[in-house]
Amino acid sequence: MRLESKLQIFWQKLVIALSASSELQVWQKSDRYGHIYWRAYNPITGSSACFGSEAEMRLWIEMQYYQEM
C-alpha cells in the first residue's frame, strides 16, 4: 500500500473518531427490579441526565440540540 493511501485512511479514521466524540450518547438500562430507564450524555456541554421514559429522554435531546444553535 502506498504512503498516500495510508495517510488518506489515517485521516478518514481520525475525522470519524473526532466527529463521533461530539455526538450525543444515549443508552437504555434496567435496574435490579427490571425497570427500564434511559441515560444520556452530551460530550460538548458535559451534561448528563437520567430519565424514566423515552419521551423525557427525547425532550432532553431536543433541548440539547436547540441550546447548541
pLDDT digits (tens, 9 = 90+) for 4-59: 777 788 787 777 667 667 788 899 999 999 999 999 998 888 899 999 999 999 99
68 vs 30, more confident: 30
Q: Does residue 9 fall inside a structural domain?
A: no
> How far from each other are the two terminal CA atoms of the chain, in whole angstroms?
43
Q: Residue 36 belongs to what domain range?
A: 22-68
Q: Does residue 12 fall inside a structural domain?
A: no
Q: Does residue 34 fall inside a structural domain?
A: yes
Count: domains in the chain = 1
Confidence at residue 8, expressed as pLDDT on a 0 to 100 scale: 82
CA distance 53 to 17: 30
> Residue 15: which residues within 8 A CB-CB, separation 6 or more?
none
Q: Does residue 13 fall inside a structural domain?
A: no
